[in-house]
Amino acid sequence: MRGKDVEFEFDIVVSLPKGADDEAAIIDALFEAGCDDAVVGLGASGIIGLGFTRAGEDAEVVISGAVTQVLSALPTGAQLREVKPDLVSLADVAARLSVSRQALQKRDMPPPSLGGLYRASEMLPALEAHPGKVRDALDAARGWFASAAAAQKINARASLGVDS
């Protein structure tokens, strides 16, 4: 019996090797590799960001598959830098929920993990615990929060140099 598919929202950030500056070729290669559903950002030199919304039963499988597709399309030497959402600021969460940062600061939140950044995977239960505008806004961001634990695992493996 097949479980219910969930739409996961996540970003993949990759560093490009020196000399990989043909943006049109990179976008074409990503399209050919099956990443035609990604929103691609090439604004920072040497970095590419891709935003995805993909459906599946398991966030880690969905995100790892997208990482594999992305890296297979990019020049040799491209490296996964980060999968988001993992470490997030209150401003990131507020923007995702279309509420003010102050609305989040009024709630009991999990402790920050690093320099004022929070684990997105720990935030959903805290946000669901209190009625009001913030909890009401969660439905539109469920796919983003559903990706958080998998993003954290994939980032941990990447930082250790272990393939996803």
CATH of the domain at 30: 3.30.70.240
Q: Residue type for 12, please?
A: I
Write down the mean pLDDT value for the chain: 92
Residue 151 included in any domain:
no
Share in percent of the chain as helix, strand, coil (round to 5): 45, 20, 35
How much is the pLDDT for 83? Answer: 98
What mean pLDDT comes out for the span 112-118?
91
**H helices within the chain, ranges in order?**
23-32, 59-73, 90-97, 101-105, 120-128, 133-137, 142-146, 148-159
Residue ranges making up the domain that contains 91? 87-145
Listed residues 68, 84, 100: the one ending a domain: 84
Nearest to 66 by CA among 11, 146, 123, 138: 11
* Same-domain pairing of 65 and 121: no
- Measured between alpha carbons, how far is 118 from 111 in angstroms, rounded to an integer? 7
- Encode pLDDT of 7-52 as tens digits: 999 999 999 999 888 899 999 999 999 999 999 999 888 999 999 9
| Residue whose token pair is 């739409």 | 7
Q: What is the pTM of this model?
A: 0.91
Specify if 10 maps to a domain: yes
Residue 50 lies in a domain: yes
Confidence category of residue 74, pLDDT binned at 50, 70, 90: very high
Q: Does 163 fall in a domain? A: no
Is the peptide bond between 17 and the residue preceding it cis, with omega within 30 degrees of 0? Answer: no
